[in-house]
Structure 1
Amino acid sequence: MSAPQVSNDTFAVCDLELNQVSIVGIVRGFTPFVTNMQYSVDDMTGPPLCVKQWLNEEDWSLTSVPPGTYVKVIGSLRNFSGQRSVLAMNIRCIKDLNEITSHMLEVVQAHMLLFEKVLKGLRENVNMNPTAASLSGHGGNHSEGILPNGLSNIQGQVLRVIRRSCVLAEGISLQDLKSQLDYLSMRDIRASLVFLVNEGHIFSTIDEHHFKSAEH
């Protein structure tokens, strides 16, 4: 739901276009309309998702999915009047709870594959752009402490700037981070932030666009 919208009904995660998505969650409620059925599906990752399923005349004889039911939704992300929702191609009730475990494993695998590509691209960018690598000390000599092992050059630069803003209760905003690291692309900064959050080096504060070091 936080994926940037790059064009009409086109969204992206780390510059990879979103197409068909699969969601597993609990139906919290539903509202029938003349042409569609709208479900509120809670997949436990945030607020319940609005899932819309368009209906033909012959579909109205079908029984709607009652609240409290686990379902698997296959569809695509859409933006209707500023509200994001999932346009469902198929909604199926889950009877075997092993499907929930299987879906969680699929989510973990997709996450690993996605960010493996992101990290590989960052490493290639550093290796092919020695000028950017030489800017690791950009901004002067500051006392940010010893950086954790396993960070790329770009991730280290992002973490240094975030550590320098530890005196601020809300941390540093993404916009200020970009201003101080203007020689880096927003794509590289966002990818570094995702990695640093997942590894526990930083955390978001007042919203998804403010970050603070976990060591302060």
Structure 2
Amino acid sequence: MTSYSGYSKPSYGAGGGDEGNGFYGGSQTGSQGQGGQKGFTDESLRPVTIKQLLDLEEAYPGAEFLIDGHPITQVTVVGQVRAVTPQQTNITYRLDDGTGTIDVKKWVDTDRPEEAEPKYALDQYVRVWGRLKSFNNKRHIGAHFIRGVDNFNEVNYHQMEATYVHLYFTKGPIGGAGGAANGNYNTDGNAGAGDSMFVDQYGGGAKSEETAKLGSCSPGARKMYQFLSNTSSSNEGVHLNLLTSGTGLSTRDILGAADELLAQGLVYTTVDDETWAILDY
């Protein structure tokens, strides 16, 4: 986890995918596959606008991407689908958030043929978690996870959150002396309820939000969440095999439960797509 200033929060989806197959294990290269290894603890998630991704500069080809002087590993954006291009190995969505447009590539798992069909229609709003990539001087996002936006408040919230974080880095924390922030900011990027970051910043409500989200999940998802809460003691999380043996749920049930918890922003994938950890509130 990358740390910035007095505010601390675990990254959402601190595992995820690389450009080749959608997932990676252990330590990995930086944001766009440049030289130099980044460990798991260097992972962070930052809410951004598309313009921020298009305007940032690389110190040299292959250097890590920086926004406001801080490296970015994973990013989250919210935008409207303007074009959909299905291909054999991936589905490319052209995303527009009002500040710019960028391609988002979601790699298809060959073991899950249903993933080859586009899930999101033109003009639909979606939230994307992923990594900024650069190929032939053109940037795109390699998506780990995409979900539809059901409440338009999330669109407005994301723009506010991206602005807040930018000001945090450039002006310092609220009530601080100003200047670039050092030390601990991470956000879960899950704006579905529209208040997670600001509630935590100003106090109260975060635990009740977690409880409300869990209450809308199936019994299997709640059982998986409870097992993770009682078992996971590190950022590496708990693997599918241990979950099936520990909960008595089938592999299919665990995968379904994981999808529910991911959609609610309650867990994230870690070293691979079959290992999950709790997103602490």
Structure with bigger helix share is: 1
The separation in 1 between residues aligned to 2:111 and 2:152, in whole angstroms, is 30
In structure 2, the CA distance between the partners of 1:9 and 1:93, relative to structure 1 (3 Å rule), is farther
Provide the rounded CA distance (Å) in 1 between the counterparts of 2:63 and 2:130.
12
* 2:71 aligned with 1:17: yes
Distance 1:39 1:116, change over 3 A: same
TM-score calculated relative to the size of structure 2: 0.40
Structure 1 residue 50 corresponds to structure 2 residue 106: no
Instruction: Identify the match of residue 113 of structure 2 among 43, 47, 60.
Output: 60
Residue in structure 1 matched with residue 179 of structure 2 by the alignment: 120
Q: SS where residue 55 of structure 2 aligns?
A: coil
Equivalent pair of 1:37/1:55 in contact (CA under 8 Å): yes
Pick the structure with more strand per residue: 1
- 1:9 deviates by 6.4
Which of 85, 93, 101 matches 2:140? 85
Closer, same or farther: CA 68–60 of 1 in aligned 2, 3 Å: farther
Distance 1:33 1:42 in 2: 20
Preserved contact between residue 85 and residue 93 of structure 2 (Cα < 8 Å): yes
Letter of the 1:38 counterpart: T
CA distance in 1, matches of 2:58, 2:153: 33
* Greater RCO, CA 8 A, separation 6+: 2
Q: 2:86 aligns to what?
A: 32
For residues 101 and 2 of structure 1, the distance between their equivalents in structure 2, rounded to whole angstroms, comes to 21
The AA in structure 2 aligned to 1:60 is P
Q: Which residue of 2 aligns with 1:103?
A: 158
Deviation sequence 1:50-105 (CA, Å, 0-9, x none) = 11111112443144111110000111111012211011111110111121122122
Partner of 2:125: 70
Structure 1 residues 105 and 3: alpha-carbon distance in aligned structure 2, compared to 1, 3 A threshold: same
Distance 1:59 1:38 in 2: 17
Q: CA deviation at 1:14?
A: 3.0
Q: Distance in 1 between matches of 2:123 and 2:179?
A: 42
| Partners of 1:3 and 1:108 in 2: CA distance | 15
- SS of the equivalent of 1:120 reads coil
Please give the alpha-carbon distance, in whole angstroms, between the structure 1 residues aligned to 2:68 and 2:166: 11
Asked if structure 1 preserves the Cα contact closer than 8 Å seen for 2:68 and 2:166, the reply is no
Alignment correspondent of 2:42: none
Q: Which amino acid aligns with 1:56?
A: D
TM-score of the two chains, using structure 1 as the length reference: 0.51
Letter matched to residue 129 of structure 2: I
Structure 1 residues 33, 9: CA separation in 2 closer, same or farther (over 3 Å shift)?
A: farther
3-state SS of the aligned residue for 1:56?
Answer: coil
C-alpha separation in 2, matches of 1:79 and 1:68: 25
Q: Which stretches in structure 1 are left out of the alignment for 5+ residues? A: 122-216
The one-character-per-residue Cα deviations of 1:110-154 (angstroms, maximum 9, x if unpaired) are 12101114x625xxxxxxxxxxxxxxxxxxxxxxxxxxxxxxxxx
CA RMSD of aligned residues (A): 2.2
3-state SS in 1 of match to 2:166: helix
**Could you list the runs of 5+ residues in structure 2 that have no partner in the other structure?**
1-53, 173-177, 181-281
| Residues 5 and 60 of structure 1, relative CA distance in 2, 3 Å threshold | farther
Report how many aligned residue pairs link the two structures.
121
CA distance in 2, matches of 1:80, 1:86: 11
Pick one of 47, 50, 55 that aligns with 1:2: 55
Amino acid in the other structure paired with 1:89? H
